[in-house]
Amino acid sequence: MKNKIILLFTICMIGILFSYTPVSAEGESKVVIIYSSNQSNDLTQVRILDTIVSHFTSDITITSDEESINLDDYSHVFYLGLINKKLSSGLIQQMERFQGEMVFFGDNVEQLTKRYGFVSTGESETIRSVSIPQSGIKTEVEESRSILKINASTNQEIVSVGDESKPLIIKDKDSYYVGTTNLYNPVGMVIGETLYEVFGKQKNEKKVKYLRLEDIHPKTDAKNLETIAKYLKNHKIPYLVTIIPVYTSTKIKEDIHFSDVPELVKVLQYMQKNGASFILHGYKHQYRETETGEGFEFWDVQNNRPIYQSKDDKVLVPTNVEEQLMLEDYERQYIKEAIENGVTEMIAHNLYPLAFEAPHYAMSQSGYEILSGYFSTYVGQLQITDQSRKSTYGPITSGKPSFLHGMTSIPETMGYIEKDIHNPEKPFAVSLKNMKSLGDDVSQYSDGYLGAFYHPYLGLDTLKEVVQILNSYPNTTWLDLKQLPNKVEVENVLIQSKNGEVTIEKDIVSSDYEMNIFVKNSFMYVLLIGGLLFGLAIYFISIRQKNIPSNETRNGSI
């Protein structure tokens, strides 16, 4: 009897071991993304896939097909065939016998004759829309997109199609095939929707919406901003505000700081107490001879590269490793100084940033890594290559892509409002229509953020229309950034938020900027107190003089 029990226990343990799916220590799925490419310095599509997958897990490993890897260490395998090449027999064997879910993109699928024998591809064909027939999701493609022609049999499930009938994603059991490696939206959105099934995740019924007030700097009209703040408070709408601590322009002699505009600071403090969460939006929001809010700060647009040198220096094109390292070190110090100055100047006025957004969404991969040492949360679209700042990706769901080094990404999906100079009677009609159209697309997808931003100088009336659009989507909730776990840390300062509470740990005076304000305020207090004491002294002296009798009175004369 004892031997039978031991045998039964052994069989059960073996069964558990063979059915075990590797997960990370936190219980997340463990993902590897393998890619084949001849451009190792441009991982644009890899990073898009990284971003999409990160909504489901933050445990993501990215590797080339030429690197040695053990697929048994992972729960899910993604392969991105960006070029047509012969895969190693070892990798093919591992992929063939892999026990978990696998998603295969693009070229080289015919080499996996066992696992993907159900896939037959032909010449490329173009599409102008993508859809998921089972859910009724459909999104138009702005420009015609090429996909591989998939000859699907009746035995395979067609998950997604292009142009109503052209298979885009098909599956057989735990093997998925995607007939494209161009993952820019809306293809990326369709892939993201498919991954709920791949990861066995439940879809959230409620979507998150948010309003972001953009480009608030020391030249912002305080009264106009206060009007908007009171409207949002009265309607109990939490919102985001991007802050630029310094205003500069070639038209002014000296930079303007918040210390120069106490009325605006009071409005910002009022906003912070009544629904606003602040986002640091650079330090000056400019690099070359541009006005704050117009220029870039963390990308050299003129040379289409990261900030490697002072704007006045002759451009150095590195010819060796030492020169490249020198340029990278300059960028590192430049970004650190901007971030540290931005945070410390804000907190000197009791304004506490909870996240970061790069001006015009432009930042290098190295920049994200540096930024992650200060911030836990990033808001906005993502620059996904150092080849060009125009290569950005706008996810519709939150996540922690590996290239953000632990930062959580909160997407912006509905764009912004701008004036149409060709339609003076209805200058915002086109922008409002476009914003609604983008929102309608995103609202079809699970967990999609309905995020829009607005420049306050456009006034309250148009803002009300933006709020009306955001409120038109059912089953949504407003994002309150303070409710999320955020962390901002610079030297001598720690800002954290969770469950609506913001906590700050800092020295009494944490920067030279704050010291200057402290000294200035102390001097003003000394002058004020001194003035009061002087006034009281004069007052008491005058009273005393009135109460001293004259010589005539003292001598008894009238």
**Mean pLDDT for all residues in the chain:** 90
Q: How far apart are CA 353 and CA 189, in angstroms?
A: 30
The pLDDT value given to residue 545: 65
Q: Please state, as a whole number, how many other Cβ atoms lie within 10 Å of the Cβ of residue 452.
A: 23
The pLDDT value given to residue 264: 98
Q: Which of 104-113, 175-184, 456-465, 533-542 has the lowest mean pLDDT?
A: 533-542
CATH superfamily of 207-506: Glycoside hydrolase/deacetylase (3.20.20.370)
The pLDDT value given to residue 547: 64
Contact criterion met (CB below 8 Å) for 32 and 78:
yes
> Where does 348-410 have alpha helices with state H?
365-371
**pTM flag (> 0.75):** yes
pLDDT tens per residue across span 490-517:
998 999 999 999 999 998 887 888 888 8
Name the CATH topology of 2-199.
Rossmann fold (3.40.50)
Q: Could you state, in order of their start, the residue ranges of all structural domains in the chain?
A: 2-199, 207-506, 513-554
**The two structure tokens encoding residue 521:** 């305020």
The pLDDT value given to residue 395: 97
Contact criterion met (CB below 8 Å) for 375 and 497:
no
- Residue-by-residue DSSP string for 415-480: -B----TT-SSSTTHHHHHHHHHHHHHHTTSTT--EEEEE-GGG-HHHHHHHHHHHHTSSSEEE--
Query: 382: which strand partners?
Result: 393
